[in-house]
Copies of this chain bind each other. A is one copy, B any other.
Amino acid sequence: MSEHTLDWLEQVHWDAQGLVPAIAQEHASGDVLMMAWMNREALAETARLGRAVYYSRSRQRLWRKGEESGHVQQVHEIRLDCDQDVVLLKVTQLGHEPGIACHTGRHSCFFQKLEGTPDHAQWRSVEPVLKDPESIYK
């Protein structure tokens, strides 16, 4: 790889762990599907493959989204924010219709909504499970 090749990766402000948050937004609907983390390798591979690749902090390795579930994210656009420390992906969530981004079998990971008054609030699941997770991860 030439020096020039790495410029765009170096312009990202990686945190002390070498990571940045990456938000996946569904291209067609605008729905925010999930947020995960990327290291340099994950972002480089995402750009190269046109498929979302994250870095799993718990497993400490690259996480090729869909590698177990088949719920691959096709990447249409990669954006970077003003501080150069957050990535936004515009994706199509493949493998199911409607798309399932969440390991719980839901469309989006953001399925818990704060309800009630601030003094007596609670998180409530407001999105249906589209597919039993046990049948997603064999």
Contacts and interface: CB of A to CB of B under 8 A. Distances in A.
B114 A78 contact: yes
A8 B122 contact: yes
A30 interface: yes
Contacts of A88: 32, 110
B80 A119 contact: no
A123 B7 CA distance: 9
Contacts of A67: none
Contacts of A11: 123
A31 interface: yes
Copies in the complex: 2
Interface in A71-109: 77-84, 86, 88, 102-104, 106, 109
A47 B4 CA distance: 46
27 contacts: A8-B121, A11-B123, A21-B21, A23-B35, A30-B31, A32-B32, A34-B81, A44-B118, A48-B118, A77-B113, A77-B114, A78-B114, A79-B110, A79-B112, A80-B110, A80-B113, A80-B123, A81-B110, A82-B102, A82-B103, A82-B104, A82-B109, A82-B111, A83-B109, A86-B109, A86-B110, A88-B110
3 tightest A-B CB contacts, nearest first: A30-B30, A79-B110, A78-B114
